[in-house]
Structure 1
Amino acid sequence: MQSLDEVNLSNTNELTMQMLSAQTPKVFRQLVSDWPIVALKTDPEKVSYMLSKSAGKVVPAWVADKKEGGRFFYNSDMSGFNFERQRLPFNDVLRWLMANASDEDIATVYMGSTSVDMLMPLYREHNDIALLKDSPLVSLWTGNRSRVAAHFDATDNVACVLAGARKFTLFPPDQWDNLYVGPIEFNPAGQAISLVDFKEPDLARFPNFAHALEQGFEVTLYPGDAIYIPSMWWHHVEALSSFNLLQNYWWRQAPEPAGNPTDALIHAMLSIKDLPLAQRNAWRDIFENMVFSPKQHEHIAKSARGFTKTLDSEQAAKMRKILKQGLDL
C-alpha cells in the first residue's frame, strides 16, 4: 500500500477548486479543526451539541447483528444483505451510541448519507466549507465501528472527520477487475461494491486483489482531518471508534443537466453487450467518436449539429425524451 499526498492548510478558506479538481486523492490534516463540532473534545459534548441543533428527525439507518463484526455486506448466498434497514429517531440513536460506547460486543448502527440541512437546519452556519456551500449534497454519517465495502461514486467528494477515527483504503479507477466487483443492479447502497473482505482477503478466491493492493493507498483520519476523493476512485471506509461522525460534500464536474453515467452503462449492457463481436467493435468506434474523444463535426452545419454540441438543458430534455420513447417500446 502507498501513502497519500498530504496538503497543509491553515483553514478551509485556503481550499481552491483547483485542489479539488485533481485526479488523485489528497489529505488535508486538521482542515476543519476550528469547527465548533470538532473543537468539542469529548464525544458526549459533540452529542449534546448535535441534540441542540437537531429537531428530533427520524432518519434511515442500517443495523447489523454483532456477529457481522461491523461489516455491511450481502448475506451468505447474495440473495439479500446481512443487515436490516430501519428508520430510527436520530436523537435516540445518538443517546444509544453514548450509552454503549464502552461495549464492543454490540450491534452495529450506521446512519449514512443523512442530509445535514434536513437534520440540523442551523448547523452549517458554523460548520461548513465556504467553497462547497452550494454543493448539491452535504451529508452526515454517524455510527459505531463499521466497515463499508469498497465502491466508487460518480461525484467528487470531500469527507471531513468530526469524531472518531476512520481508515480509508483507496484504489485508482482502473482497478475494477482486481477488486472483484459484484452486481451493478443489486447492491447495498446503489453502487457496485468489491466482494473482497478487506479484513481477511481470500486470495485463493480473489487472487488479483494482491495486485490491487500494490496500487492502493491507505490513510487513517482523525477529528479535524479531511480527504478529497476524486470521482470514480474506489474507497473502502472503516470506522474505528465506538462513536464516529463524518460530514461529506458531493458534487459533479459536469453540466447541470447531465445524466447518471450508470444509467448509460445499464443501457449499453441492454443494447450492445450481446451483439456479435464485429458489431460491438463498430459501436466501440462510434462511442469513441461521439463520447470518449468527441470530434468537432465541422462537416455538419452549425444549425444542425444537435447532440454533438456542448450539453445544455434543452438538449438534455430532448435526449431524455428520445430515451424514454425507446425504453417504452
Structure 2
Amino acid sequence: MKLDLQDIPRVKGISKESFLKDYFRPQLPVVFEDLSADWPATQKWNFEYFREKAGDIVVPLYDGKPAKGHQKSHGPAMKIKMRDYIDILKKGPTDLRMFFFNLLQNVPELVEDFRYPDLGVKFFKKLPVLFVGGEGGKVVMHYDMDLANNFHFNFAGEKRVILYPPEETKYLYKVPYSIVSMEIIDMDKPDFDKYPALAMAKGYEVTLKHGEALYIPSQWWHFIKYESPCLSLTLRSLPTSPKRILEVLNNLLVVRNYDNLMRRLKGQEWIDHKNRMAIKNTHKNAGID
C-alpha cells in the first residue's frame, strides 16, 4: 500500500493568461521550470552567499519535535547566527529549519535579487519569506493559516513536496483547532495500519530542484522533506474574497488563541484529546470501523 499521488504538471514560458485560466482560477498546482531563470538569485543564492550577506543575523530555528504539555505550538527550538546554522547544515543531516524568515525586514538588500513575477495576481510585497532546511528535515502536513496562494522558489538543494487539495481533508487526520495533520504521522513513510485513511486521499507530488518554483494554491495541504540542504523563497498572494478573509481572521484570532489557551490550561491532556479526535473524525468520515 502506498499514497495515491500523481505528478504535478510542469510548464515553461507560461503566459499570465494561461496561468490564471489553467491553474490560479481552478486552484490547481503547477511547477514553473523557468519562472526565475533571469533572476540574480537563481545564479547567486547559495549558502556561502548567505553566509556573506547575512551571517551575523540571529535566526530562529525549528525542529521536528511535536510540542508537548503546556508548550505553544509554534515556538522555536533555538536562536543562533545564520553562519552557525549554515555550519550545521554542512555537517550532515539535521531537522533544524528556518521558517518564515522575513527577508525584507532582516536582509533588505537581498530583495534586489528577485522580482515579483507578472502572473496576473497581487502579491503581498511586505512578506517575502525564506525557508531553509537540512538534509532529512521534514515539515508536518499542514495548510497555511492565512490561506495564502504560495509561489515557492527553490534555489539550493532538492526537496520532496506532497500536496493535497482541501476536499481531501477528511482523509488526512486533521487535528481539531489547528491547521495540521497529526504530527506523529510521517508522510514520507506512512503507517497505513494505524492511519488507513491516508491511502484513500488523492494528492500530488514533486521533487523540486534548483531554479524551479511551485505554485501551492490557497488552503492546500503540503508536506515537505528536505532531500538535501535547501534554501527557498516564498512569495505570497493573500486571499481577497470576504469569505476567505473571515476564515483567516477566525484562524488567527479564534482558533490559534483558543488552542494555545487550552494548551496552557490542560497541557498534554489537551494534545492527546485532539489526536484521539483526529483519528475518530477521520475514520468516521472515511467509513472506517
In the superposition, the TM-score normalised over structure 1's length comes to 0.64
Q: 1:34 aligns with which of 8, 29, 38?
A: 38
SS of equivalent residue, structure 2 residue 224: strand
Change (3 A) 1:55 1:3: closer
Q: Does 1:249 align with 2:235?
A: yes
**2-side partners of 1:134 and 1:202: how far apart?**
38
User: Separation in 1 of the partners of 2:13 and 2:126?
Assistant: 24
Percent pairwise identity = 24
Shift of 1:167: 0.8
Aligned residue runs from structure 1 range 286-305, under 5 A: none
Between the aligned partners of 1:55 and 1:110, the Cα distance in structure 2 is 16
Superposition pairs of residues 95-114 of structure 1, within 5 angstroms: 95-98=87-90, 100=91, 103-104=92-93, 107-114=94-101
Q: Assess if the C-alpha contact under 8 Å between 1:168 and 1:236 holds in 2.
A: yes
Q: Partner residue of 1:288? A: none
Shift of 1:203: 1.6
Specify which of 133, 138, 148 is matched with residue 128 of structure 2.
138
Deviation at 1:255, TM superposition (A): 5.8
Deviations 1:264-322 (A, max 9, x none): 36869x9xxxxxxxxxxxxxxxxxxxxxxxxxxxxxxxxxxxxxxxxxxxxxxxxxxxx
Q: Partner amino acid for 2:51?
A: L
The residue aligned with 1:179 is: 172
Q: Give the whole-Å Cα distance in 1 for the aligned partners of 2:213 and 2:109.
A: 22
Letter in structure 2 aligned against 1:160: F
Aligned pairs, number = 240
Cα distance in 2 for partners of 1:177, 1:50 equals: 41
Contact 1:117 1:124 in 2 (8 A): yes
Q: Show the 5 A alignment for 1:256-271.
A: 259=245, 261=247, 263-264=249-250
Written as runs of structure 1 = structure 2, the 5 A alignment for 1:1-329 is: 1-9=5-13, 14-15=15-16, 18=20, 20-40=24-44, 46-54=46-54, 56-63=56-63, 72-74=64-66, 85-98=77-90, 100=91, 103-104=92-93, 107-131=94-118, 134-145=124-135, 146-153=137-144, 154-185=147-178, 191-195=179-183, 196-212=185-201, 215-241=202-228, 243-254=229-240, 259=245, 261=247, 263-264=249-250
Q: Distance in 1 between matches of 2:235 and 2:35?
A: 14
Q: 1:78 to 1:51 in 2, by over 3 A?
A: same
Distance 1:206 1:84, change over 3 A: same
1:126, distance to aligned residue in structure 2 (A): 2.3
> In 1, Cα distance between the equivalents of 2:49 and 2:166?
38
Structure 1 unpaired stretches of 5+: 64-71, 186-190, 271-329
**Higher RCO (C-alpha under 8 Å, 6+ residues apart):** 2
Alpha-carbon distance between aligned partners in 2 of 1:267 and 1:133, rounded to the nearest angstrom: 26
Root-mean-square deviation (CA, aligned residues, Å) is 3.1
Of stretches 27-36 and 227-236 in structure 1, the one that deviates more from structure 2 is 27-36
CA distance in 1, matches of 2:233, 2:51: 16
What code does the residue aligned with 1:197 have? Answer: D
How far apart, in 2, do the equivalents of 1:172 and 1:31 lie?
A: 23
1:36–1:126 Cα contact (<8 Å) kept: yes
CA distance in 2, matches of 1:267, 1:161: 33
